[in-house]
Amino acid sequence: MNPGTTINDTFFRRYRELVRKEMIPFQWNVLNDAIDVNIERERNDASIPNEKSHAIANFRIAAGLEKGQHYGWVFQDSDVYKWLEAVAYSLQSTPDDDLKALADGVVDLIEEAQEDDGYLNTYFSITEPEGKYKRLGESHELYCAGHFIEAAVAYHEATNNEKVLNTAKKLADHICNTFGKEEGKICGVDGHEEIEIGLMRLFHLTGEVRYLKEAEFFLRERGQDPEFFDKQWKDGGKMLMGGLASLPKSYFQVHLPVEKQETAEGHAVRLVYMCTALADLAATIKDERLADACRRIWNNIVKRRMYITGGIGSTVLGESFTLDYDLPNDTMYCETCASIGLMFFARQMLRIESKGEYADIMEKALYNTALSGMALDGKHFFYVNPLEVDPKKSKLDPTKSHVKPVRPQWLGCACCPPNLARMITSLDRYIYTEKEDEILVNLFISSDAEFKNGEVTISQETEYPKTGETVIKVNNNGADLIRIGVRLPSWSGKNRLSPDGREYESGSPNGYCYFDINKGEHLIRLEMDMEPKRWYTNPKVSENMGKVAISRGPQVYCMEEADNGEDLHCLYLLRDAKLSYEWKEDLLNGVGFISADGIRYETDEKSGLYFYGKKAEYKKQTIKMIPYYAWANRGKNEMRVWINEKE
């Protein structure tokens, strides 16, 4: 992995600047209850807190700096930690003394809220000290700890702040001393995976093996005692998230030990966080059985349970996976965090093995569902990313209350916005995978990177995804030959590569085309096939029968009411229609726009609800499409990814 990469890309520079200039300050104000924002519940459920964030105040109260009650979810602390992590990456790429001073203050506050034995969680410290670790199925104590540790590692890497690292180590040591198989320790796991990711990162930073061992304990203990949460719930005191107790064991991925889990089950974010840590562990200790478990779950996700947009989680109930090929477009969940988690998982899988498929999916999740999580203004956010929306149904159909037609300013459960902020600010870490014997070029983002202690530099110049060409300049100043693998995206039928002026078509079994680079400067030019494409679905997916989805490059396209009028379900794309592409600089901050011949099905009002014996009437209509990530930036309107198709 290579943190020494500077992004100077047209497409992502805008996003990264948006996060730095808009999102981080905006989120800071929200966390401090310092601005008036409209906080929406993520679905019609009166128990969801939506008055304010109160997240910083919770820390101040826990630290004894002010009086008051804890407010918000039991995992409200994680909003602050994810904000701090995003700030860390932002400072790494763009130093900012004022922001650093603010974040240093947050580190001080967190340290003050930490208890003497290392325990850290504002809800339990303030409201229920006697309940600590007694209801791990719902408490999110280790989930929050994992997020703090991740933030601390990132902040220490960016700023050398010692306090943040010491606070994280004190917390991690407290966890190592409290949880484990040894006599007197709690032999159980958290209902929401995340501590495992944090501990692995702390191990990578410090080299201290006890953190790796503790992560391994949590991963291997998962599913060994499926009744663990129930036993705790029986005598653990009042439930805060009562509904959780009635969910199946698979919701928490405790139905089976991880090595026996064959399919992606339960809460989608939890599952991909579990897999991220599992893949990290498998790659780090080179454990093939754990790697196989990761491969099985990966395959199940991407071959049977993932939307074409890289979204995962087919139902709002438990924000969960359901079953193979069950991919409804208008009731799904597709949480922003889940696609970000899928990117985390893919990044770790690339450490296990060099397969282009992992980077293909990472790219798909990034350019579609993850980016869709944020409005173009950087101040409004989706939790749920549907593939089909009718605002009238979202308003009045109770089964669709979670499917918002426009991004709210903030959400009662605010997990997604700060997750997006930390992913976008750390995007430089996804472009390449550095291994002992090779460097993989995963993503096509203009950037300058250093590897092998500066002996090797790689710079990419590209306007991707506007155009499909990237020029990769490799400078090998060391003595050894290095191998560079350039991904050949699976969506691109033809990839033309020209190393040192020689041009040839290329295919490769593992999805990368390799070049042996000796001392000196080398140019690799990759040209991808950016013709818009029609995609069809396996017929086992009942929802997509007779429908087509359009993509160009890594981006999936969609129709919006703003361009096509209402009742998008009445539109058909003609099967042989040419897909015409044009760049529109003044639409939606600059987007590719696809149009094609289509027809609209119409009947007159008098036909009534049902009718027979009457021929359908079709009128010509041009179908217009924009990239999915940019939808819902022109007010409330219908949207559709899967479009009816007709001969």
Residues in contact with ligand FUB, shown as a per-residue x/- string from 167 to 206 under the rule CB under 6 A: -------------------------x--------------
Does 268 contact Zn ion by CB under 5 A? no
Among 337, 403, 541, 579, binds Zn ion (CB under 5 A): 337
Strand residues in 387-462 grouped as ranges (E): 388-389, 410-411, 432-434, 439-441, 447-451, 456-462
Does 594 contact Zn ion by CB under 5 A? no
User: With respect to ligand FUB, which residue has the nearer C-beta, 12 or 81?
Assistant: 81
Amino acid at 39: I
Annotation says 337 is catalytic? no
Among 216, 319, 450, 561, binds ligand FUB (CB under 6 A): 319
User: With respect to ligand FUB, which residue has the nearer C-beta, 75 or 432?
Assistant: 75
Does 415 contact ligand FUB by CB under 6 A? yes
Q: How far is the CB of 283 from ligand FUB (least distance, A)?
A: 23
Among 337, 389, 517, 548, binds ligand FUB (CB under 6 A): 337
Q: How far is the CB of 337 from Zn ion (least distance, A)?
A: 3
Number of residues engaging Zn ion in binding (CB under 5 A): 4
State the binding partner of 573 from ligand FUB, Zn ion, none, CB within 5 to 8 A by kind. Answer: none
Contacts of 400 (CB under 8 A, 6+ apart): 330, 331, 393, 394
User: With respect to Zn ion, which residue has the nearer C-beta, 418 or 598?
Assistant: 418
Q: How far is the CB of 415 from ligand FUB (least distance, A)?
A: 4
If one counts every other C-beta atom within 10 angstroms of the C-beta of residue 549, the result is 26
Does 332 contact ligand FUB by CB under 6 A? no
> Which residue among the candidates 415, 416, 513, 558 is catalytic per the annotation?
415
As a whole number of angstroms, the distance between CA 46 and CA 389 comes to 23
Among 12, 26, 59, 75, binds ligand FUB (CB under 6 A): 75
Instruction: Verify cis geometry, omega within 30 degrees of 0, for the bond prior to 554.
Output: no
Strand residues in 283-416 grouped as ranges (E): 388-389, 410-411
Q: How far is the CB of 419 from Zn ion (least distance, A)?
A: 6
Among 136, 269, 340, 362, binds ligand FUB (CB under 6 A): 269
Give Dmax (Cα) for the chain: 81
Closest CA to 475 of 510, 451, 447: 451
- Give the CB-nearest residue to ligand FUB: 269
**Phi, psi torsion values for 567, nearest 5 degrees:** 55, 60
46 sits in which H/E element: none
Among 24, 149, 282, 416, binds Zn ion (CB under 5 A): 416
Does 280 contact ligand FUB by CB under 6 A? no
Annotation says 413 is catalytic? no
Closest CA to 366 of 294, 297, 445: 445
Amino acid at 95: P
Among 411, 415, 441, 556, binds Zn ion (CB under 5 A): 415
Contacts of 88 (CB under 8 A, 6+ apart): 103, 151, 154, 155, 157, 158, 159
As a whole number of angstroms, the distance between CA 236 and CA 132 comes to 9
User: With respect to ligand FUB, which residue has the nearer C-beta, 415 or 524?
Assistant: 415
State the binding partner of 75 from ligand FUB, Zn ion, none, CB within 5 to 8 A by kind. Answer: ligand FUB
As a whole number of angstroms, the distance between CA 626 and CA 559 comes to 7
Contacts of 214 (CB under 8 A, 6+ apart): 172, 175, 176, 179, 180, 199
> Which residue among the candidates 150, 194, 319, 450 is catalytic per the annotation?
319
State the binding partner of 413 from ligand FUB, Zn ion, none, CB within 5 to 8 A by kind. Answer: ligand FUB
State the binding partner of 9 from Zn ion, ligand FUB, none, CB within 5 to 8 A by kind. Answer: none
499 sits in which H/E element: strand 495-499
Does 321 contact ligand FUB by CB under 6 A? no
As a whole number of angstroms, the distance between CA 382 and CA 200 comes to 29
Does 265 contact ligand FUB by CB under 6 A? no
437 burial via Cβ count (<10 Å: 0-12, 13-18, 19+): exposed
Does 81 contact ligand FUB by CB under 6 A? no
Question: Where do contacts with ligand FUB occur on this chain (CB under 6 A)?
Answer: 75, 192, 269, 319, 335, 337, 413, 415
Question: Where do contacts with Zn ion occur on this chain (CB under 5 A)?
Answer: 335, 337, 415-416
Catalytic residues: 319, 415
